[in-house]
Each structure stands twice: as structure tokens, then as C-alpha cells.
Chain A
Amino acid sequence: MDKSMNVLIVDDYRTMLRIVGNLLKQIGFVNIDEATDGAEAFEKLKQKNYGLVISDWNMEPMTGLELLEKVRADDQLKSLPFIMVTAESKTENVLIAKKAGVSNYIVKPFNAETLKGKISAVLGE
């Protein structure tokens, strides 16, 4: 796993951005950017080369699911690893995210081990 890759965290809760950012730093990632909704995230993804997106679902004006759909529909970004980290824990949510092409799905609240495990599963050890 190349830990020097650019990682984008997307969440409308400042606290969650800090939590995920700190957990990523602890895992060893150093190049971490943040966005507070899907639209801002998509803009950043178009401007810079990212190796991983970790996104919340429930955000306005563009949700994490809409961001995922936009990413998968974009020729340049369609194979970008995308992990959804969300409190939305209904079966339908997981299935819809899976159908939209999510790489992995983490239910909040989560711990560092879960995040690390899912990142490893998506990017390879």
C-alpha cells in the first residue's frame, strides 16, 4: 500500500474530518485533504490525483451517494477506490451503495482497526 498517495476525506461534520484524518495519519498516510460535501469533493477530485476517497453519505447539497455515482460515471475517476463511512445502516443503503459501485462500507461509529482493515481490503496490504 502506497501511503504517500493523496487521500480525500469528505464529511460535513468537522469533528469527523478530524477523527478520520488523525486515524489515517496514525495508519501512516501523510497526504490528506478534506471536503465538506460531495460537490466540493468532486471539484477536488478533478483537480488533483487521489488514490482513495473516504466519504460520509448524509451531506448537503450533494450526498456521498451522489458523489459516488458521479465518480463512477466519470471516465477519469471511475476506478477510484471509494469507501463510504456512514451512520446509514439499513440493508437498502448498503445494497444501493454496492450497486453504485462502492469499494467498501463502514458503519459509524467505527474504530481504527475497522478503518485500517477496510483500507487494506480496498488498496491491498
Chain B
Amino acid sequence: MSTNEVKEIKEQIQELLTIIDAIRKEVSEIKQAKIQKIHMPVATDELDAVVLSTEEATGTIMDAAEKIMEMASSVECEASENIVGEVMKIFEACSFQDITGQRITKVVKAFKVIETKVNSLLLSLTPIDNLAASGKDSDSTEKPVDENDKESLLNGPGLPGNAMNQDDVDKLLSD
């Protein structure tokens, strides 16, 4: 190897060290505590509030629907049956609250995975004494389904197009 080649390699290594040093400085400015203590709790609290407010709103809608049904059944006319039929549709539609609640729980789990990943990244790029120990790691919020692992069976609602519909379920049951 010629002297010039050695010099070039040294310069490239020096350049790399400068880049790594710059990354370290940038990463050390990221406030890990802020992510853990402010951003993540705020995001999950907001999502919890969404679940709570939709639950309250659904409760109010259902209270009203139950009263309408009561009133309709105490009146003897042809319209009464139609009113009850329409109120049933309101009840059916109210099941959105259960589905959205389960979807939001999945989002909260995804946030926790992201938090763990960010912590791991920070740990690998900054001096150990600057960072708190990272939590357990996981690649996904959704484990592969395993009959012997009951928790892996609990994945909540699938996304449209990805989940089975009632006809698919009926076919599976009848096979």
C-alpha cells in the first residue's frame, strides 16, 4: 500500500469519526426523559380520553334510543314497529365503540413498541451514563398466532380487507 493510499484511508476514517461524533452530539440532545415522561404519556392519555368520550357519547345515544323504544312500544300503531326497527339500527351502530376501543388499545401497544425502539437506538448511540436502561424489546404489537399461546390469539379487530367477514366464518365452521 502506498503512502498516499494510507493517507487517504486515514482521512476517510477521520471523516467517519467526525460524522459519528456529530450524530452522538445530536442524539445526546434528544431528551429521552421527555419522550418517556411527556410525549408518550400525553399520546396514550389522549387516546384513553378518546375511548372515554366515545363511551360516554354512546351511553347517551343508547339511553335516548332505549327511551324511544319504550315510548314506541307503549303506542299501538303501525309506525311503532317501524320506529323499533330503526332504533335497533341505532343499537347495532353503537357497537362501533367497542371496535374503536380495541383499535385504540392496539395503537397504544404500538406506541410502547416505538418507545422501546427509540430507547434502544439512544442507548446504542450515546454514552451509557446519559441514558436510563431500556425496557424489554419486541418487534411487533401482533404476535404470530400460536394455539398454545392464548395471548397470541387476542389481536382485536383486523383492518378492513384483512379481516374475515361473517360469510368466511360461517364457511369455516361448516367445513
- Chain A: residues with CB nearer than 8 A to chain B? 11, 13-16, 18-19, 22-23, 26, 57-58, 63, 65-66, 87-96, 98, 104-112, 114
B140 to chain A, nearest CB (A): 15
Q: Quick check: is B77 within 8 A (CB to CB) of the other chain?
A: no
User: Is A92 a contact partner of B62 (Cβ separation < 8 A)?
Assistant: no
User: Is B150 a contact partner of A66 (Cβ separation < 8 A)?
Assistant: yes
User: Is B92 a contact partner of A110 (Cβ separation < 8 A)?
Assistant: yes
B121 to chain A, nearest CB (A): 32
Q: Quick check: is B44 within 8 A (CB to CB) of the other chain?
A: no
Distance in angstroms between the alpha carbons of A11 and B92 in the assembled complex: 15
Q: Quick check: is B133 within 8 A (CB to CB) of the other chain?
A: no
User: Is A96 a contact partner of B97 (Cβ separation < 8 A)?
Assistant: no
User: Is B91 a contact partner of A88 (Cβ separation < 8 A)?
Assistant: no
Q: Is the interface of B mostly helix, strand, loop or mixed?
A: helix
Which residues of B are found within 8 Å of A92, using beta-carbon distances? 145, 147, 153
In the complex, which residue of chain B has the Cβ closest to the Cβ of A103? B173
Which residues of B are found within 8 Å of A57, using beta-carbon distances? 153-154
In the complex, which residue of chain A has the Cβ closest to the Cβ of B166? A107
User: Is A94 a contact partner of B172 (Cβ separation < 8 A)?
Assistant: yes
Distance in angstroms between the alpha carbons of A106 and B154 in the assembled complex: 16
Q: Quick check: is B1 within 8 A (CB to CB) of the other chain?
A: no
Which residues of A are found within 8 Å of B58, using beta-carbon distances? 15
Which residues of A are found within 8 Å of B89, using beta-carbon distances? 111
Cross-chain contact of A90 among B95, B145, B173 (Cβ < 8 A): B145
Distance in angstroms between the alpha carbons of A89 and B88 in the assembled complex: 24
Distance in angstroms between the alpha carbons of A40 and B32 in the assembled complex: 42
21 A-B residue pairs with CB within 8 Å: A19-B91, A19-B94, A22-B66, A22-B91, A87-B102, A89-B164, A90-B163, A95-B172, A98-B172, A98-B173, A104-B173, A105-B169, A106-B166, A106-B169, A108-B95, A108-B98, A108-B99, A109-B99, A112-B88, A112-B92, A114-B166
Distance in angstroms between the alpha carbons of A91 and B169 in the assembled complex: 8
Which residues of A are found within 8 Å of B92, using beta-carbon distances? 19, 23, 109-112
